[in-house]
Structure 1
């Protein structure tokens, strides 16, 4: 890698989570006007059994200070950030080259990263030949705005996932639904628990399920509380139970619970692959930022 004089690189370790968060937070604040990442997000991802930071990450340091990083997070996805104070020095270009080489060596045929639309990262990747693979939106339910409750069909109830069987069923519902539009291998259950049930700060109310008259889990919602915002990280309904209003019922439930636990606003994200943007806008949510997933063939 060609980096400015005085900068060094090394693989990341779990002890770097806070430093990576600070770089990412500074970049998000500069590019979208708010910080959407949490340190818990990084720790949760890094504690997945499938994560090998030694071979899949690279930090850029100025002395002992981390100023940029890149990581292959999944087979065809990478995340990267450069502290705004260190931009326009070729660091992003160098990290992009490392990402492509590393992903190619791991057998990937394409690799991409999400970047805020129109940001320096977006412009850089476009200039390097990365095209738009899909587009995503962060939507916010403004403070004080309510979503009209969704009556549940007879025999259905929304409750906390109470048992290991509930949690595993919620995972299966999520994976089946997400794999309808996501091009990836099935996620291992232990990887999912690392980012949900074992995520720092997890509380039982974060994972809710919609249960049918037969006692089976028909839908799930995973919501986290972050800096006064209830963030719906996962929302899914079984294919054979759709059309009953379960998704909306789970969403209303999640927002209400988040408010009970101190949230003043609620957020979620969706992308062009799901076709769900209109649903969230119809219930009163507003787009707060637009992200482009840019990718390049290897």
Structure 2
């Protein structure tokens, strides 16, 4: 049976499973924690909704919230593929809440048949220190990079006949295919279905057709894709992938130039993206002038479930 979080909490705090109606409250807790840890808010409510509305994901069966009266002060969830997440409002740190949630997340993932569970935390943050002390190891490191104010990514001409543009609805499935083929070269997980991809991209709150960018070859075939999201005047490249046989031609760089330019036309004043040590792409982004603004580690632990 899943760990009883309430049994180890300070007096007055209660727990319950979450629902889609709690997305805004969860966003507020994560935002407060990010602001305290890295000095900026990265999450937005659309991220939570997009994750929770994915086909096959049961929010109530996979989450728990900690409440002080009616106020959500901490939460944890266990998703598919060993992906977990948790956050504690800075005002409630140091009371053992994070320890209880980490135990709950590990136990719940094991019940779901996941051999391990992990989550990203800012390197050196209280969450990082806590998870390390609980035996969570580092699976990979990731970096958030930003294009300095006034800088631009050098334009790189596309091969003859190639074009970079907004994806048409009839190309969404091709963009998904390019992304999944590329991501699964380094990511150890089940292949994301098109329905799951669509729910987190096309049906993500706030999605507009211009957000999804593609490079098409002379025959009109999609060979690279990029997804740019606009949040508080920040253009964020959430996905970027090139078909294996098309790499080394500057397609990814062309997508970055295009995506950031289009986002600027829609009001963006700064440009960001993230990458991790599994992709080997950090040097590529640094070479085009982007700078690391924060470092995160993905810490995981075995659950005891069979592999």
For 1:172, which of 162, 177, 182 is the aligned residue?
Answer: 177
Deviates more, 1:142-151 or 1:89-98: 142-151
Partner of 1:65: 71
Residue 75 of structure 1: how far off its partner (Å): 2.4
* TM score, norm. by length of structure 2: 0.96
- Kindly indicate whether residue 211 of structure 2 is the aligned counterpart of residue 197 of structure 1: no
- Kindly indicate whether residue 124 of structure 2 is the aligned counterpart of residue 106 of structure 1: no
**Distance in 2 of aligned mates of 1:113 and 1:219:** 28
- Kindly indicate whether residue 87 of structure 2 is the aligned counterpart of residue 46 of structure 1: no
- Kindly indicate whether residue 241 of structure 2 is the aligned counterpart of residue 236 of structure 1: yes
Partner of 1:15: 21
* Aligned pairs (5 A) from 1:43-192: 43-164=49-170, 166-192=171-197
Secondary structure in 1 aligned to 2:120?
strand
Residue 257 of structure 1: how far off its partner (Å): 0.8
- Kindly indicate whether residue 257 of structure 2 is the aligned counterpart of residue 275 of structure 1: no
User: Matched residue pairs, number?
Assistant: 297
- Kindly indicate whether residue 261 of structure 2 is the aligned counterpart of residue 256 of structure 1: yes
For 2:232, which of 227, 232, 238 is the aligned residue?
Answer: 227
- Contact map agreement 1:144 1:264 (CA 8 A) in 2: no
Deviates more, 1:178-187 or 1:6-15: 6-15
Partner of 1:247: 252
Residue 190 of structure 1: how far off its partner (Å): 1.1
Alpha carbon RMSD of aligned pairs, Å? 0.7
- Kindly indicate whether residue 302 of structure 2 is the aligned counterpart of residue 288 of structure 1: no
Secondary structure in 2 aligned to 1:16?
helix
- Contact map agreement 1:228 1:265 (CA 8 A) in 2: yes
Residue 74 of structure 1: how far off its partner (Å): 2.4
Q: What does the per-residue CA deviation read over 1:226-262, in whole Å, with 9 as the maximum and x for residues that have no partner?
A: 0010000000000111111101001110111111111
Structure 1: give runs of 5+ residues left out of the alignment: none
**Distance in 2 of aligned mates of 1:16 and 1:70:** 12
- Contact map agreement 1:75 1:103 (CA 8 A) in 2: no
Partner of 2:35: 29
**Distance in 2 of aligned mates of 1:52 and 1:269:** 27
Where do 4+ consecutive residues of structure 1 move more than 2 Å? none
* TM score, norm. by length of structure 1: 0.98
**Distance in 1 of aligned mates of 2:42 and 2:279:** 21
Residue 209 of structure 1: how far off its partner (Å): 0.6
- Contact map agreement 1:21 1:37 (CA 8 A) in 2: yes
Secondary structure in 2 aligned to 1:243?
coil
Secondary structure in 1 aligned to 2:79?
strand
Q: What does the per-residue CA deviation read over 1:121-169, in whole Å, with 9 as the maximum and x for residues that have no partner?
A: 00000000011110000000122211111101001001111132x1000
Residue 50 of structure 1: how far off its partner (Å): 2.1
- Contact map agreement 1:61 1:68 (CA 8 A) in 2: yes
Structure 2: give runs of 5+ residues left out of the alignment: none
Partner of 2:222: 217
